[in-house]
Amino acid sequence: MKKISLMLIAAFFISTAFKSGNPAYLLFNKEGKEVKYNKIIKSLLDADIVLFGEQHNNPISHWLQLEITEDLYGLKKDSLILAAEMFETDNQLILDEYTDSLISTSSFEAQARLWPNYKTDYKPLVELARKNGLKFIASNVPRQYASLVNSNGFEGLEELSDEGKKLIPPLPIPYDPELECYKSMMQMEGMGSHVTPNFPKAQAIKDATMAYSILKFWSPGKTVIHYNGSYHSDNFGSINWYLKHWNPDLKIVTITTVAQENVSELSEENSGKADFTICVKDNMTTTR
């Protein structure tokens, strides 16, 4: 028995030593310097909005979303609001009914339009909100409206019913085609003739709706943590631009997730994309 215990202890220390020399991820600040987890939490405490940019299938990104949200809840309690790209504005009612424990888990999961990796990656966040009575915002534009913009531009939204228009920001939608996040979409490789001036506008209606949804529920003294694909918040554009357009005084903190072969330092390409960067090994297993 003693021999087995010693073997387990030895295995533990060998494993720990290996992991410390070959970390799965490291955290960096905007200047590309390594930063401790607690420093990030401290920076988020006074934020009005936290834009957490993820790689949708990256388990480290999702694990840290949960860790950071739990720690923020421990410090801010009911002044914390959760929000996510993964839920569309026309699903707000059913999301509210579920987090208010008015409907069962099976009913919610059968009726809501959930992403394929919901149970592994987003359900823990929804359950955290449900358990603690926190608001969870369904922030994204209904996908059929993004398709409408891709086909007909923002003008297509004018044809929506009054009920439909309640699910998007007030028209007309502000838009700057010179923003790098949209300008670069016109030059995407492999898209060929599929790239039209409406293509980045379909992205912009998502960004605008997410920003508008956040502001709809935010108030001074609250912190909204919003989970979105990193492209929607990288380089302080996209959602960030719309939030600042409607409320220039907001304190916004951004987090992004990148993948590299070597995580010991950020590449030049990945530096400065956000206030904080989660740099993950590029051979990390995926969740879908």
55: left (phi over 0), alpha (psi -120 to 50) or beta: beta
Phi, psi angle pair for 201, to nearest 5°: -65, -35
* Strand 49-54 with 223-229, pairing: parallel
**197 vs 208: CA distance, rounded Å:** 17
Query: Quick one: angle between helices 239-246 and 198-217, nearest 10?
Result: 50
pTM: 0.91
Structural domains in the chain plus CATH codes: 24-281 (3.40.50.11550)
Q: How many helices (H) and strands (E) does the chain have?
A: 11, 7
Taking only the tens place, the pLDDT of each residue in 123-165 is 999 999 999 999 999 999 999 999 999 999 999 999 999 999 9
Taking only the tens place, the pLDDT of each residue in 227-266 is 999 999 999 999 999 999 999 999 999 999 999 999 999 9
| Paired strand residues for 226 | 51, 83
